[in-house]
Amino acid sequence: MAAIFDYEHTVADAEIDALNHASNVAYVEWMQAAALAHSTALGWPAERYMAQGQGWVVRAHAIEYLQPAFAGDQVVVRTWVATMRKATSSRRYLIFRKSDGQRLATAETRWAFIDFATRQPVRVPPDVAESFPVVSEEYGTLVGDRRAATVVPSSRIRSPCP
């Protein structure tokens, strides 16, 4: 069970904006895909959430853009769960270019766990919470430790998070 997860993606021409670099929307899409891939690797694919009628929805994204990504760049979205509370969780991300290790962005997403029928927050079930290792703040700052990471190429991801 990898606490820190690497999701690889090659920047497509369609993700390039008028300034000739990856658009801000592309970064959010990569974060979403990385979160789903990590969840799936931990035994919680979108279909499992749908079957139980509960799952995660985004409450907020915060992104700090550091350097641009360009068409053809292979980027790595490194992600980990930073907190797990009664009905919420936060996930952090480090996005970097694979070829030179250049940091492109850091980000965080705050998630709420909801009942899909009522659309109301509910307590995260123990089997869900126990499946997601929480990375301590101290370790989270040392995300360069690739030994803890699992790598999944973007071509293997089929659907968005619920």
**Contact (CB, 8 A) for 82 and 90:** yes
Average the pLDDT over 24-43 and give the result. 98
| 129-157 pLDDT, tens digit each | 999 999 976 555 544 444 444 444 444 43
Q: What is the SS3 assignment for 153?
A: strand
**pLDDT of residue 19 exceeding 60:** yes
pLDDT of residue 146: 43
Provide the β-strand partners of residue 91. Answer: 81, 109
Which tokens go with 115? 């009942």
The mean per-residue pLDDT over the stretch 19-25 comes to 98
How far is CA 135 from its chain centroid? Answer: 14
Q: What are phi and psi of 35, to 5 degrees?
A: -60, -45
Chain-wide mean pLDDT for the chain? 88
Measured in residues, the chain has a length of 162
Q: What is the pLDDT of residue 95?
A: 96
H helix intervals, the chain? 24-41, 46-52, 126-129, 137-140
Q: What is the reported pLDDT for 2?
A: 85
Condensed to tens digits (0 to 9), the pLDDT of residues 99-134 reads 999 999 999 999 999 999 999 999 999 999 999 999
Choose between 135 and 34: higher pLDDT: 34
pLDDT tens figures, 74-93: 999 999 999 999 999 999 99
Please classify residue 135 by burial: count the beta carbons closer than 10 Å to its beta carbon, then call 0-12 exposed, 13-18 middle and 19+ buried: buried
Q: Among 119, 50, 128, 61, which Cα is nearest to 90's? A: 61
Residue 139: its pLDDT value, please?
Answer: 56
157 or 55, higher pLDDT: 55
* Domains in the chain, CATH or no CATH each: 4-156 (3.10.129.10)
Q: pTM to 2 decimals?
A: 0.85
Q: 138 versus 33: which is more confidently predicted?
A: 33
The residue assigned the tokens 């499946």 is 131
- The pLDDT, as a whole number, for residue 137 is 66
